Each structure stands twice: as C-alpha cells, then as structure tokens.
C-alpha cells in the first residue's frame, strides 16, 4: 500500500528481528483478504509504503536469541493475529485485543505484513506453528484467518447441538462459519447470500438450506423454516447494516447473534428496536477478532489434517507473487467468481 487507494511493488530492506523473541520468515504462500482491501480504502486511516498481508506461511529464516522452539528451515504457519501473551488484555483472556507494541492485530496494521519475500513475526514461540507433513501450504494458510475467524464466529454464536443457525454472507469467512456450525453440531444450517456459486459451496460446507436474498426475503424465509420462532444462532459475516439487522430479526429470543464481519464504513450500526425486544429479548450480540497463537493453530491444523474440513475449496484463483496486484484488485471487485486467491512465492 503506497497510500490510501494505491497499491504496487516496492523495494524494502530485509526485515530484522525486533526483540530477541521474534523470527524472520521466508514467505512461501499467502492469501489476499478483503480486510486488506478495507485497509487500502482507508478503513484504519492513512498508511504510507506499508506492506499488506496477514495470511501466510513459510520457512523460518532466522530466530531471535530468546526464541527457543523453532529453528531455521522449519515449515511454519502464523496466524493473522500475533498476541504477546504478556499484556493485561492477554492475561485477562483476550489475546486478540493484545495491547503490546507488536501483539494483537499488527500485520499490515501497525507493522509490515506478509506480502513480501520475508516478514517479521513477534513472540515467535507463541505464534509460530509447525505445519504437519500431510497439510499443504495452501491449506495451512486458511487456518491463519478464514478458519480461525469463521470457526470463532460459530463458537461465539452459541451453536446448540441440534439447534438452528443462520449465516448471513457466504464469502470465505461465512463459508467457514457454516463449516464451524456443522462441526459444532447445529441441526439446521441456513446460508444467505446472492451469489449462486457461493450458495452452492455453502452446501458443500454443511448448509442444509440456502436462500438467495435477491429472490426471497431471508428473514421471512428463516421465520417460515423455524415455525415463526427464528434461529438459535445467527452469524453476520459481511460487515454491513442490513445483514446485521437481519440477524437481530431472524434470531429467536434468548438466542445469540455473532458478529464476524468487518464493518469498514460508517459511524454507527443500528439495532431494530422492536425485534430486539425493546432491549429485553435476551438476544446476545457477541463480537470477535480472529483468535491466534500456536495452541489455536494446532487445533485448526488438526481439523485440516483429519479431513474434517477442506479449506482449499475456497480457492478460486492462483497467482504468482509478481501478479499479486491483479489478485488484489480482483479481490475487491470479486470478478470472475472470485472467492479467495492463493499467492505463490516460488
Ligand atoms: Zn484476513
């Protein structure tokens, strides 16, 4: 990102290890995220000559003196979020909200990200994870954000064994909300979007019913499917007013609305007052930021390794690193049925 609205290649010096706990990774594979697009459009403010990217895996190039668990040559993956595990928010159990200088969401936010031949990882022992032999780099990259975020969306939605769940927005994170709801035992999963191939893919990931919101009103449909009660759990995986309020309408009293989407525009998100029971419907709204750390990543890799979920079905395009500017803008327009582009560094 050269500045708001402008991306392109530039030469930068080799990154150096910032504290003894850090590591330098030689990037092998990366994914482009819609949040990178938000960043370039100015959602988190101006950035100059800023390296984007937070979904990547690679080979350990070097480690700091105080990082003891990894060595050069290790094939690793690192989550989009890299907490320090020492600050107050980490100690309170909210490591994604890490407040230390290099923790929390820092890749392509307050430090350079992974769309480069080499990138720096803080607190390597806690944030790097070895990739099992039978897991590809491409599959491993999906654990860094799409799986961790989407599955957390389902975990936060309080999925009830045999209960009902709706996912609004079937981009890559929404697809992983569907897969997560399936893993957690939802009895009926309803996927909502307006793009036919996304609706089809959601069925592969476990949606029982899909609703094209260009053809039918999703709230009316969900009400009809649940005897007028609404679902136990809903997930907002877009980051916009309409799907957010649809979650409030479509969730039954006592149910849970899990916000997963990145609300990149506007100053307020409004609640529909009556559907919210004038504040008394006991509808819980939960929010999240992608959980990181090697324990989380080990669990996600296990789900890939055992074939419970194949995240590579999300891959719609492959690009070489040299062509990533094209991949980046295609991720914005979603042209050519774009879901997720994989960037190969060699
Ligand atoms: Zn991402």
CB 110 within 8 A of CB 255: no
Residue 265 dihedral angles phi and psi, to the nearest 5° = -135, 155
Asked if domains 23-145+290-344 and 150-287 share a fold, the reply is: no
Residue ranges per structural domain of the chain: 23-145+290-344, 150-287
SS3 37: helix
Instruction: Classify domain 23-145+290-344 by CATH number.
Output: 3.90.180.10
Global confidence as pTM = 0.96
d(CA 111, ligand 1 centre) in Å: 15
d(CA 68, ligand 1 centre) in Å: 28
Residue 174 dihedral angles phi and psi, to the nearest 5° = -60, -40
d(CA 171, ligand 1 centre) in Å: 12
Structure tokens at 291: 């959980």
Per-residue pLDDT of the chain (346 residues; tens, 9 = 90+): 999 999 999 999 999 998 899 999 999 999 999 999 999 999 889 999 999 999 999 999 999 999 999 999 999 999 999 999 999 999 999 999 998 766 689 899 989 999 999 999 999 999 999 999 999 999 999 999 999 999 999 999 999 999 999 999 999 999 999 999 999 999 999 999 999 999 999 999 999 999 999 999 999 999 999 999 999 999 999 999 999 999 999 999 999 999 999 998 889 999 999 999 999 999 999 999 999 999 999 999 999 999 999 999 999 999 999 999 999 999 999 999 999 999 999 8
Check residue 23 and give left, alpha or beta (phi > 0: left; psi -120 to 50: alpha). beta
Q: Provide the CB-side half-sphere exposure for 239 (13 A, CA).
A: 16
**Element (DSSP H or E) covering residue 250:** helix 241-250
Instruction: Classify domain 150-287 by CATH number.
Output: 3.40.50.720
Structure tokens at 227: 């005897």
How deeply is 202 buried, as exposed, middle or buried, from its count of CB atoms within 10 A (0-12, 13-18, 19+)?
Answer: buried
d(CA 154, ligand 1 centre) in Å: 17
Q: Tell me the sheet residues that pair with 55.
A: 31
Q: Tell me the sheet residues that pair with 340.
A: 315
Distance separating alpha carbons of residues 340 and 141, to the nearest angstrom: 11
d(CA 55, ligand 1 centre) in Å: 6
How deeply is 251 buried, as exposed, middle or buried, from its count of CB atoms within 10 A (0-12, 13-18, 19+)?
Answer: buried
d(CA 274, ligand 1 centre) in Å: 34
d(CA 63, ligand 1 centre) in Å: 25
How deeply is 339 buried, as exposed, middle or buried, from its count of CB atoms within 10 A (0-12, 13-18, 19+)?
Answer: buried
How deeply is 169 buried, as exposed, middle or buried, from its count of CB atoms within 10 A (0-12, 13-18, 19+)?
Answer: buried
d(CA 142, ligand 1 centre) in Å: 9
d(CA 226, ligand 1 centre) in Å: 33
d(CA 292, ligand 1 centre) in Å: 12
């Amino acid at each position: 990102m050269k500045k708001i609205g402008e991306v392109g290649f530039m030469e930068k010096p080799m990154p150096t290890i910032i504290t003894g706990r850090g590591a330098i990774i030689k990037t092998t594979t990366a994914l482009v995220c819609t949040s990178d697009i938000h960043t370039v459009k100015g959602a988190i403010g101006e950035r100059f000559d800023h390296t984007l990217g937070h979904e990547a895996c690679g080979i350990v190039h070097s480690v700091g003196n105080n990082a003891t668990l990894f060595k050069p040559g290790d094939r690793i993956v690192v989550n989009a979020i890299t907490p320090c595990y020492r600050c107050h928010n980490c100690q309170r159990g909210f490591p994604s909200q890490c407040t230390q200088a290099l923790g929390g969401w820092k890749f392509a936010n307050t430090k350079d990200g992974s769309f480069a031949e080499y990138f720096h990882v803080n607190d390597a022992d806690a944030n790097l994870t070895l990739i099992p032999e039978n897991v590809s780099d491409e599959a491993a990259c999906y654990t860094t954000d799409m799986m961790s975020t989407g599955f957390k969306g389902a975990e936060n939605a309080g999925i009830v064994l045999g209960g009902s769940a709706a996912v609004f927005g079937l981009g890559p994170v929404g697809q992983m909300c569907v897969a997560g709801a399936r893993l957690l035992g939802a009895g009926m999963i309803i996927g909502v979007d307006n793009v036919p191939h996304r609706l089809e893919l959601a069925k592969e990931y476990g949606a029982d019913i899909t609703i094209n919101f260009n053809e039918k009103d999703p709230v009316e449909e969900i009400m009809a499917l649940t005897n007028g009660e609404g679902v136990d759990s809903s997930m907002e995986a877009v980051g916009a007013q309409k799907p957010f309020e649809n979650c409030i309408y479509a969730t039954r009293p006592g149910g849970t609305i899990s916000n997963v989407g990145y609300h990149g525009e506007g100053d307020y998100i409004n609640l529909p007052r009556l559907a919210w029971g004038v504040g008394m419907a006991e509808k819980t709204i939960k929010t999240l930021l992608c959980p990181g750390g090697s324990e989380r990543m080990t669990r996600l890799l296990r789900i890939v390794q055992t074939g419970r979920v194949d995240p590579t079905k999300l891959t719609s395009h492959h690009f070489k690193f040299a062509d990533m500017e094209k991949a980046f803008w295609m991720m914005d327009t979603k042209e050519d049925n774009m879901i997720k582009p994989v960037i190969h560094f060699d």
